[in-house]
């Protein structure tokens, strides 16, 4: 599937090149970006704003952090990981608002977060809960939620929200790999995000790898939380600590995939590594390896027969 996604990206770039050679028009946003790049070639690839996660090893793997003028995709293999994916994006939004408060020097954040959930995702993953938002470090008063009936409406809302420049971040929640949300649509969203210099987080439930214009793509899984830490540094036995997420970086400029486990502290709005290092993912190994059972010894080769056999005469 990854090879197919790369082929689709190359095909799209080739089509754009052919269109320019033939003198055909390209989308207005793409043309504007190309004109800007031609006039200022020294600025290409520079000046991109980043959201630092506060973990040096992770920020180094992400070239400084997540793009604040682009798209980051987070996907799951199963709906059982929907809670972890939702929690991670809420944590990113909380950290984004926290950074905005520090720069502005005021407690309330003037720019809210917009969450766009399509109908199919809501049926399985549910709706945001105000008390849960508060526990993750977000203010419910600065959280907007849209529930369009169709994916086309969701894409329109996302583009309009990015173009408005009135939001700290936009979250687009989808299910699977719909045919009407492919590489072309993702490129349009990225161009909107770059023009507005606003971040877009794409949450894709039970989605496979496919070609997209996202700067980074993560696959997220659940991870066990540690015990709650007390002020004196000890842990409270039998308790549940901060949320923990296992992330696999699938798409990046750096060599991928990489795996790391992050813990989110909602009170301090800080990430930390739940394990001491970032490890490369062995694609040949099973996702959840277990110890093999030892071979049986000194046992019969087959189970003993139950009871005795009784012969009955035929009726005819």
DSSP letter for each residue of 211-234: ----SEEEEEEE-PPPPPBPTTS-
Domain 57-227+239-280 has CATH 3.40.50.300: yes
Tokens of 234: 């000890």
Residue 239 or residue 27, greater confidence: 239
pLDDT tens column, 136-189: 888 888 999 999 999 999 999 999 999 999 999 999 999 999 988 999 999 999
For residue 233, is pLDDT > 90?
no
Output the pLDDT for position 37: 43
Q: Measured between alpha carbons, how far is 82 from 127 in angstroms, rounded to an integer?
A: 11
Domain ranges of the chain: 1-39, 57-227+239-280
Nearest to 115 by CA among 180, 70, 161, 67: 161
Both structure tokens of 305 = 């027969």
Report the pLDDT value the prediction gives residue 314, as an integer from 0 to 100: 62
Cα within 13 Å of Cα(121), Cβ side: 34
CB contact at 8 A, 235 and 222: no
pLDDT tens digits for range 19-36 = 556 555 444 444 444 445
pLDDT of residue 59: 92
Q: What does pLDDT average to over the chain?
A: 79
Q: Which two tokens stand for residue 170?
A: 């936009």
Tokens of 313: 């005469």
Pairing state between β 200-205 and 71-75: parallel
CA distances from 25 to 22, 36, 159 (A): 9, 16, 21
pLDDT score of 289 more than 90? no
Q: Which residues share a beta bridge with 119?
A: none
State the pTM of this model.
0.73
What is the pLDDT at residue 221?
A: 92
Nearest-angstrom CA–CA distance, 200 and 191: 11
Please tell me what DSSP assigns to residue 183: H
Measure the CA–CA gap between 273 and 254, rounded to whole angstroms. Answer: 19
Reply yes or no on whether the pLDDT at 249 is more than 60.
yes
- The structure tokens listed for 108 are 């309330």
Q: Tell me: the pLDDT tens digits for 192-229?
A: 999 999 999 999 999 998 888 999 999 999 888 887 77
Higher pLDDT, 294 or 202: 202
């Amino acid at each position: 599937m990854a090879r197919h996604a790369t082929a689709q990206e190359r095909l799209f770039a080739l089509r754009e090149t052919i269109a320019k050679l033939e003198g055909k028009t390209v989308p207005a946003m793409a043309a504007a970006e190309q004109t800007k790049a031609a006039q200022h070639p020294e600025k290409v690839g520079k000046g991109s704003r980043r959201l630092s996660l506060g973990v040096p090893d992770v920020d180094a793997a992400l070239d400084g952090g997540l793009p604040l003028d682009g798209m980051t995709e987070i996907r799951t293999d199963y709906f059982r990981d929907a809670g972890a994916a939702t929690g991670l994006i809420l944590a990113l939004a909380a950290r984004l608002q926290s950074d905005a408060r520090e720069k502005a020097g005021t407690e309330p954040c003037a720019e809210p977060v917009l969450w766009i959930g399509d109908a199919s995702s809501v049926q399985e993953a549910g709706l945001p809960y105000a008390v849960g938002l508060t526990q993750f470090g977000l203010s419910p008063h600065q959280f907007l939620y849209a529930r369009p009936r169709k994916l086309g409406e969701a894409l329109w809302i996302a583009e309009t929200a990015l173009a408005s420049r009135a939001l700290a971040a936009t979250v687009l929640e989808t299910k699977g790999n719909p045919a009407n949300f492919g590489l072309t649509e993702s490129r349009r969203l990225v161009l909107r995000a770059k023009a507005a210099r606003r971040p877009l987080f794409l949450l894709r439930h039970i989605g496979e790898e496919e070609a997209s214009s996202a700067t980074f793509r993560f696959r997220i899984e659940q991870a066990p939380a540690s015990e709650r830490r007390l002020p004196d540094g000890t842990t409270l036995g039998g308790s549940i600590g901060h949320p923990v997420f296992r992330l696999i970086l699938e798409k990046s400029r750096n060599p991928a995939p990489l795996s790391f486990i992050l813990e989110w502290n909602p009170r301090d709005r800080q990430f930390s590594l739940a394990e001491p290092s970032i490890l490369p993912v062995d694609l040949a190994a099973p996702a959840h390896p277990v110890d093999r059972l030892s071979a049986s010894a000194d046992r019969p080769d087959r189970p003993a027969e139950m009871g005795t056999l009784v012969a009955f005469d035929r009726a005819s």
